[in-house]
Amino acid sequence: MKKPWLLWLPLALFGLFFGIVAYGLMNPAERTIDSKLVGKALPEFSLPAATQGIAGLSHADLARGGEPRLLNIFASWCLPCIAEAPVLESMAAQGVQIDAIAIRDRPEDVAAFLARHGNPYKRIGSDVDSRVQLALGSSGVPETFVIDGKGVIRYQHIGDIRPEHVPMILDQLRKAR
């Protein structure tokens, strides 16, 4: 054995490769995703009610004029949606109008979700095949849009809304007036 360091070379190379990959995953170059629909009108849609006792949702409901509002895309089976629920409840208690679209959900599951985690929503449309979700450019749940009083998308928030996001979202609602 003239060169014992050669035995350790594969392990060292693997460690270097692992370190580079881990650094890239933990420090992505871009943390925001710009929506191509921001500044554009909502696509036309009309969704039935997601559960009994709460009206369904259409693009016309969001474009009637008036105050800006949030449009939240959620699902009863979504764990981040559960984490987001108390924040949305708090925002609704502050007077924020929130409508929703339930994705690939059954009425009884939506009702159970609302009973368990609260209901901050004025209207909830049922999008069982995700057509409206995809038309909005939404890639997952939860996702929230700021919609101005004319039905124009002003901001898109990807992921759950956490307490630290609330001031920025309230600012986006103010800007949408």
- Structural domains of the chain in order of their starting residue, each with its CATH number: 46-175 (3.40.30.10)
The tens-digit pLDDT sequence of the chain (177 residues) is 567 777 788 888 888 888 888 887 777 665 555 667 899 999 999 999 999 999 999 999 998 878 899 999 999 999 999 999 999 999 999 999 999 999 999 999 999 999 999 999 999 999 999 999 999 988 889 999 999 999 999 999 999 999 999 999 999 999 998
Strand ranges in 87-152 using DSSP code E only, listed in sequence order: 98-103, 124-127, 143-147
- Overall size of the chain counted in residues: 177
Neighbours of 92 (CB within 10 A): 17
d(CA 123, CA 136): 17
Alpha carbons 51 and 86: distance in angstroms, whole number: 20
Amino acid letter, residue 110: V
Cis peptide before 43 (omega within 30 of 0): no
CA distance 42 to 68: 13
Longest CA pairwise span in the chain (Å): 82
In sequence order, what E strands does 60-172 have? 69-74, 98-103, 124-127, 143-147, 153-158
Residue recorded with tokens 């009863």: 76
